[in-house]
Each structure stands twice: as C-alpha cells, then as structure tokens.
C-alpha cells in the first residue's frame, strides 16, 4: 500500500500541486463552502450523516461506527466505479473532510490501496477556513482602491464591467455576493452564497489582483444583501477616493425598470421589497405605489421609491463621508454610448492615480 502523505497547508500553491482535491464531506457541508476547485465525493450523504450522528448520541458509539462504516464503504465503492473510474495509475489526489479525521482517512486509505499517491489535508476544511479568515480579517488589505460612486440607477455595475473590458482592474463585489446591493437587489432564482463561500470567492478575486495597480470597486455599504464585507477590505474602501456618476432621476428610473425586470414582473417580490424599506412609506403612499404597479407605470414608481428612500440615503452617506469626489461624471443618458463614454473617462482617470 502506498504511504498516505499529510500536508499542513491549504494555500493556493499547495492545493495546485494535486491532480484533484476531493472534499469527502456531505453535500450540505460542501455547498456551504469548500476549497477552490474541489470536487465533492461524499463518504456520507446529509441524511446518512444525520442518522449516524443521532445514533452516536442517543444509542451507542459502536453502533454508530458500524452503520457509518457500511455507508462509507458503499459510497466509496460507488465513487471508484464512477467519478474515479478513469483516473490513471499516477493519479495524485488530496482528500479532506471537516477536520482531517475518520472520513478523509477512510477515503484516503482505499485510494492509496488502489495505488494512487494520496494525501490528506491535516485539520481538514478547518485548516483552509483558518487561512481564509487570517487573510480577510487579520491581514491589512494591500490594494489601492478607487470607488465608483453614484445614486441608485447610474449603471455603476455595467460601467464596472466596461472598465474590466478596457484592462482596468476591478473588483465586482455584487457579482461575488450574488446581489445587486439594494432592497430590491436579490437576484431571481439565485440565492446568495453563504458568508463563507462569499469570502472564499472574494479571497480568490483579491489574490488575482495586482496590488501595484489601482483597483476600481463599486461603492457599497458594509453589507451586500445579507453578506458582510470583511473589515480589512471595508476599511480600505472607506478611505478610498471616489469618482461619482450623476444622472437625472427620470433617466435613472427608466434604467432601473429595465435592469430590475425580474422584480417588476413579480408582484409578490415587489410588495415584499416595499415592506423592507427602513422608512415606512405610509398606507396611502403604498396604495398609490400599488396602483402604479398595477397599471404598469413602473418608471414613475421607481422615481417615487428613489425620492423617498434611495436618494436621501445616498445624500446622508456622502455628508457623513465629507470628502469631495475626485471627479464627477454628469450623464444625460445611460445607454450603451453613455456608459462607454463614462468608462473611457474613468479609465483615463485611473491612469493618473499615484501608485
């Protein structure tokens, strides 16, 4: 039997040394978060894990081990016959579970008996997670940021994508968080990732950036939907200079109706968003809004919501910040040509920033 190697680090170079990283935790554990690029070959399903845990607590450790071992053996056999069936003789996998215990040991033992050069991550997923937390919570963020600011509906997300296409470094926090960053910002049919998965994806994105070059990021609150921006990054964002995109409210309202078409098409989601407003609109105003929605008059409805909630919230945030914008771009339209023009101006501005 080949000797099982134990590795201590779960950083990107360490993980990249293996042909495949195999997460043997249950599908539910894997869905919450996992190491980048890992595949899920569970030795216990969610239901089996719950059953074995209940037996362990309520009956006996021996019975739990016996039943669990049977499940593990069957599941590993299935993986050998399916996902691992085409692996060559020199296959070199890394296996991990929650804390580098019995589940990863069981899989690694069988894989090594096959003859594969198998390794286990000491401490399992928890080792990887500690590394993520250290990077995002304990280490200063080295990036030089430029905030892309502006009232709701100024096409900041689209301008950010255009900057990326022009070779400017960008950090798309809303894309990573799976949320458009407002009370109406949840994406239809796409739940937000867990906080842990958000941080995994965020760290990957940060590590791909060159700290010697500026990075443009959309101005956000400290939370995007239900996901919190880690403090180290948030502190740099708060101190970063900003460029402000300005557009008339009617233009922004029309843009929002086109962008938030999923909310417009879902009366239940629209009503739920009304009730999440921190400033209660009042029953009379709500009835007026419902009438606008019922009549399909979504542009005046968007203007009304911006006037009550979004625009005052942005004004308060800017007053609290107190610093003038590095530059202001006044747009009279938000079509493709206007967005391209804004992206060109910001790209030129980025080139002038001191490094």
Distance (Å, whole) CA 217 – CA 171: 5
Distance (Å, whole) CA 125 – CA 32: 12
Which residues lie below 8 Å from residue 77, measured CB to CB, with a gap of 6+? none
Alpha-helical segments (H) within the chain: 12-16, 27-32, 46-58, 61-81, 102-114, 124-133, 156-165, 173-177, 195-207, 231-239, 249-259, 261-264, 267-275, 283-294, 298-305, 311-321, 336-352
Which region, left, alpha or beta, applies to residue 124 given φ > 0 means left and ψ of -120 to 50 means alpha?
A: left
Which residues lie below 8 Å from residue 309, measured CB to CB, with a gap of 6+? 183, 277, 278, 279
166 near 268, Cβ under 8 Å? no
Give yes or no: 97 in active site.
Answer: yes
**Beta 227-228 vs 223-224: how paired, if at all?**
antiparallel
- Residue tagged active-site, from 64, 72, 97, 107: 97
Catalytic residue ranges? 97
């Amino acid at each position: 039997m080949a000797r099982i190697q134990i590795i201590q680090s779960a950083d990107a170079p360490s993980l990249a040394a293996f042909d495949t990283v195999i997460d043997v935790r249950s599908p539910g554990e894997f869905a919450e978060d996992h190491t980048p690029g890992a595949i899920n070959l569970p030795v216990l399903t969610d239901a089996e894990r719950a059953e074995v845990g209940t037996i362990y607590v309520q009956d006996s450790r021996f019975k739990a081990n016996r039943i669990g071992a049977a499940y593990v053996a069957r599941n590993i056999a299935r993986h050998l016959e399916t996902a691992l069936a085409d692996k060559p003789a020199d296959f070199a996998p890394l296996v991990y579970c929650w804390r580098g215990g019995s589940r990863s040991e069981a899989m690694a033992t069988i894989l090594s008996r096959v003859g594969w050069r198998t390794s286990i991550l000491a401490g399992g997923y928890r080792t990887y997670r500690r590394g993520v937390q250290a990077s995002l919570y304990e280490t200063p963020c080295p990036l030089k940021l430029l905030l892309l600011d502006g009232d709701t509906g100024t096409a900041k997300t689209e301008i950010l994508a255009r900057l990326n296409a022009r070779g400017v470094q960008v950090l798309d926090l809303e894309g990573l968080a799976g949320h458009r960053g407002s009370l109406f910002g949840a994406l239809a049919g796409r739940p937000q990732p867990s906080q842990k998965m958000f941080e995994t994806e965020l760290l990957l994105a940060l590590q791909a950036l060159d700290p010697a070059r500026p990075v443009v990021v959309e101005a956000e609150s400290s939370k995007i939907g239900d996901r919190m921006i880690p403090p180290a990054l948030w502190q740099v964002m708060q101190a970063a200079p900003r460029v402000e995109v300005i557009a008339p409210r009617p233009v922004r309202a029309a843009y929002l109706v086109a962008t938030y078409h999923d909310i417009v098409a879902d009366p239940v989601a629209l009503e739920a968003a009304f009730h999440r407003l921190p400033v209660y609109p009042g029953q009379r105003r709500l009835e007026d809004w419902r009438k606008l929605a019922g009549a399909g008059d979504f542009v005046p409805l968007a203007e009304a919501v911006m006037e009550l909630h979004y625009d005052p919230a942005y004004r308060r945030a800017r007053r609290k910040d107190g610093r003038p914008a590095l530059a202001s771009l006044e747009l009279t339209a938000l079509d493709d040509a206007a967005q391209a023009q804004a992206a060109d101006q910001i790209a030129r501005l980025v080139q002038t920033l001191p490094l």
